[in-house]
Amino acid sequence: MEMRRTFYCTVTILAALAPAGCSDEEGAPGREEIDDVLALPCQDGLDSVYEDVAPPSPWSADERGKIVRCAYDHYVSPEDMEAELIANGKTSPGFEVGAHKLRILYFTERRGEPVANSGIVYIPSERIGDPTPAVVLGHGSVGLGDDCAPSKEHPDGFEADWKSLAYLYAGARFLSIMPDFPGLGTAGAHPWLYAEDEAHAMLDGTRAIRDLMNPGVVSNQNLIVGHSNGGHAVLAASAAAEDYGYAGEITEIITINPIWLSMGSFGTLVSNLGVALLTPTLMANTMMYFYGHAEVIDGPGAGRALWLPGEKGDAAEDVIGNACWRVATGVETGPPALGIELGSDIFLPEYVDDVGAACGFNDQCDTPLSTKWREIWVADRPPPNTNIPILHWIGAKDDFILPAYQQCGIDRIVAQGGPQTTCVDPDGNHSGILQTNAAWFRQHAAAITVGGDEPSACAGTEVFEEPLECGLPLPNSTDPADP
């Protein structure tokens, strides 16, 4: 173990001399405040977290989640947290403490092989328990480009949603880890909504946080929480937990406005039959889904090969493959700016007709290409673990993942034996639900991990005037063999 730490956590002369990550605030806590809880020196350079690192060899399940790079970034004060949320157009739920941000790199597993995954760890100045529970956080959609990785906090990144989630817990004394997900910041492609990648990164986050901290610092409890794309990730983690494994115990899965629709929806949106549902954002999302999955499953270049040849396809690859959320989905910068309004404007005919109209819309998947994608869609909405509690929060005013769309996912989870409880914020939208219910999330997290009073019971689907029913204009099978 010590040889591994020495090899991977090499301290360069520059890193040793530079005051990396020191807070700009006079009198703010420095990294010495957390030295006594760290099992690793965490003196690597920030950029080294994203460099290619050879995986442990031979690779085995015992290597999952072991940290190979660790860099101290900076201290985030309660005032910093509040200012950053306000700058992103969010309201502040209030913060009890500041937290030290570290960037880490650990290995997880993709298709049976090791793959590097960067991420963030927030160590609060005061922890909620001794030992303290771990909160593993699944971030929302950020785009496919390397600069979109939340840990980088790049100016072109999309910070509004993930910081709302991260600070909600870190600023309330919870030790937290947020994986970037493979291919964001690290080598290779990032496949958006690829359940296997997300699940493994989240579950290995339970291992990484314990590899980072000294024995006895972290309790046996894990709370796994995700929003939007991250809501998909935590449900994928539930599905994979029994077979893939994790460290400690999973106390609960909390999924907030998740994307848990049939992934065949993206097939429908490729076809011209899906035109009534298309928006610039959904066109970009469809391109992101197919591009990222093809790059990972079939290899580099396969994403571009889905699209028509020529300059438009090349420009689309640059935007979809390299840009972050705002640019990739924007009217003036995304698909509409490239003349892409329908699937047929960019996808090859066999995708528009066979994968889209026949398979995605009608579930008539009788060609090798459409059969392949149907199998991918099925794998991206796997059945849940029937023993790990699931708490599903819906924003009644969510205009991105409509409540009726979320009900499709709920119907499938419940029919497959998922122990689900549904909470509804009558005034909550897609992102604001995090701030308006912050006190509830925090009190509930404390109650189930360290003890204490539960918050008042949340509202349920009775807040809707009409019974909430699955409203996606596509079949929503509850059979695990269907998308």
User: Is 234 in the same domain as 355?
Assistant: no
Which domain range does residue 363 map to? 264-379
How many domains does one find in the chain? 2
Q: Which two three-digit tokens encode residue 159?
A: 């910070």
> Which helix (H) or strand (E) segment is 100 a member of?
strand 99-110
User: DSSP 3-state assignment of 202?
Assistant: helix
Looking at residue 3, its pLDDT comes to 34
Looking at residue 322, its pLDDT comes to 95
- Separation of alpha carbons 194 and 197, rounded Å: 6
User: Is 192 in the same domain as 268?
Assistant: no
User: Is 281 in the same domain as 386?
Assistant: no
Beta strands 67-76; 99-110: pairing state: antiparallel
Looking at residue 475, its pLDDT comes to 80
Strand partners, 175: 134
Per-residue pLDDT tens digits for 287-297: 999 999 999 99
User: Is 45 in the same domain as 16?
Assistant: yes
Looking at residue 11, its pLDDT comes to 34
- Separation of alpha carbons 13 and 15, rounded Å: 6
User: Is 411 in the same domain as 442?
Assistant: yes
Looking at residue 468, its pLDDT comes to 94
Strand partners, 213: 38
Tokens 């999955």 locate to 293
Looking at residue 274, its pLDDT comes to 76
Looking at residue 29, its pLDDT comes to 86
Assess contact for 208 and 66: CB atoms under 8 A.
yes
Q: How far is CA 284 from the centre of its chain?
A: 18
Q: How far apart are the first and last CA of the chain?
A: 43
User: Is 221 in the same domain as 316?
Assistant: no
Domain boundary, last residue among 313, 345, 379: 379
Q: Which two three-digit tokens encode residue 149?
A: 């990785």
User: Is 346 in the same domain as 397?
Assistant: no
> Which helix (H) or strand (E) segment is 286 a member of?
helix 280-297
User: Is 225 in the same domain as 268?
Assistant: no
Domain boundary, last residue among 322, 357, 379: 379
Looking at residue 10, its pLDDT comes to 34
Q: Which residues in the chain come in under a pLDDT of 50?
A: 1-24
Q: Which one-letter amino acid corresponds to residue 417? A: G
Tokens 């359940």 locate to 195
Q: Residue length, the chain?
A: 483
User: Is 317 in the same domain as 290?
Assistant: yes
- Separation of alpha carbons 247 and 278, rounded Å: 41
Assess contact for 261 and 251: CB atoms under 8 A.
no
Q: For position 56, which CATH number holds?
A: 3.40.50.1820
Domain boundary, last residue among 379, 394, 411: 379
User: Is 141 in the same domain as 178?
Assistant: yes
Looking at residue 8, its pLDDT comes to 34
- Give the Å distances, CA to CA, from 124 to 37, 121, 168, 254, 331: 11, 10, 12, 21, 39
Q: Which two three-digit tokens encode residue 7?
A: 């090899």
User: Is 95 in the same domain as 205?
Assistant: yes
Looking at residue 213, its pLDDT comes to 98
- Separation of alpha carbons 142 and 147, rounded Å: 9
User: Is 78 in the same domain as 210?
Assistant: yes
Per-residue pLDDT tens digits for 379-416: 999 999 999 999 999 999 999 999 999 999 999 999 99
